[in-house]
Amino acid sequence: MASQVYNCGVPLKSNMLEEIHQIRWWHRIDLGNGVITPGQDRSQAKLKTLHLPDLRGKTFLDIGAWDGFFSFEAERRGASRVLATDSFIWNRRAPWGSKDGFDLAKRVLQSKVEEMNIDPMELSPERVGMWDVVLYSGILYHMRDPLEALRRVSSVTKQVLIIETLTDCMFTRRPAIALYDQGACGDRSNGCAPNHAALCFLLRENGFTRIDRVYSRSFPGRLARAAYWIANGWNPLVTIQHGRAAYHAWKI
């Protein structure tokens, strides 16, 4: 079934409408002329939680780009060079996504964003180079080896890593990482989630000297999300502990 295309009243070419409808979008990307792709993700709202630093003249690496919303946004904000990377979605390892959205958006936006199909666990300076600003949003909790995953990300970060992730308080302030053998939050690919103390510890261990938490889902927000997942059959004792947070980790 075709998705609804958000349109502010500007007539669209029928072939573009058809092409947009054939893609299952994750991001809501403004393609211009009043056209916004019908993604499930509230991309603009998430952008506000990331509090991106000034990107003018900076190089920007987007890990797990999917449809490319944040890559194109970094380009729009004046980044001197942008590299979008993905593998899980672009290689169609999941039934709900593909690279088609990225390709269409890049073409319509006439973007110069570079692209590389590479697994996050294969990141290295030799493969992708070093980047001033690295975005690692919605990736860490899918990694089966979060320690090695952060080591890989650190190795390609020059200045600042922006990391946004699922968190798990586990009712403790001690550093801890929850492991999910059956997944979490309705997605069986969700394999783990750190608490605040654990993530700060891992970032410091990987060379980040200043760590700023720039967003944390409020307790009422956590309760609302928990109620949704509990209604869908997930364990209430586990679900109530899930949060969401974003950090800026600096190498200074």
In whole angstroms, what is the distance from residue 130 CA to residue 113 CA?
A: 16
Closest CA to 158 of 199, 196, 207, 191: 207
- Backbone region of residue 45 per phi and psi (left: phi > 0; alpha: psi in -120 to 50; beta: other values): alpha
Please provide the average confidence, as pLDDT, over all residues in the chain: 89
E-state strands within the chain: 6-7, 30-32, 35-36, 59-63, 81-86, 114-117, 131-137, 157-168, 177-179, 192-194, 210-216, 242-250
CATH number for 185: 3.40.50.150
Write down the residue that tokens 């990141």 correspond to.
Answer: 123
> How many domains in the chain?
1
The answer to whether residue 48 is domain-embedded is: no
Band of pLDDT at residue 170, cut at 50, 70 and 90: confident
pLDDT of residue 11: 46
The answer to whether residue 23 is domain-embedded is: no
Residue 207 clears pLDDT 90, i.e. is over it: yes
Residue 147 clears pLDDT 90, i.e. is over it: yes
In whole angstroms, what is the distance from residue 239 CA to residue 160 CA?
A: 31
The answer to whether residue 41 is domain-embedded is: no
The answer to whether residue 19 is domain-embedded is: no
pLDDT of residue 183: 63
Q: What is the residue type of 144? A: R
Tens of pLDDT, residues 73-131: 999 999 999 999 999 999 988 778 899 999 999 999 999 999 999 999 999 999 999 99
CB atoms inside a 10 Å sphere around CB 198: 21
Tens of pLDDT, residues 16-72: 878 998 999 999 999 988 889 999 999 999 999 999 999 999 999 999 999 999 999
The answer to whether residue 42 is domain-embedded is: no
* SS3 call for 22: coil
Higher pLDDT: 13 or 126? It is: 126
Alpha helices (H) in 26-93, listed in sequence order: 43-50, 69-76
Residues of the chain above pLDDT 90, percent: 68
pLDDT of residue 187: 67
Residue 6 clears pLDDT 60, i.e. is over it: no
The answer to whether residue 200 is domain-embedded is: yes
The answer to whether residue 217 is domain-embedded is: yes
pLDDT of residue 31: 92
For residue 13, give both structure tokens. 């070419």
Rounded to 5 degrees, φ, ψ at 114 are -80, 165
Band of pLDDT at residue 1, cut at 50, 70 and 90: very low
The whole domain housing 135 covers 53-250
Q: How are strands ordered across the β-sheet holding 6-7?
A: 6-7, 35-36, 30-32
The answer to whether residue 149 is domain-embedded is: yes
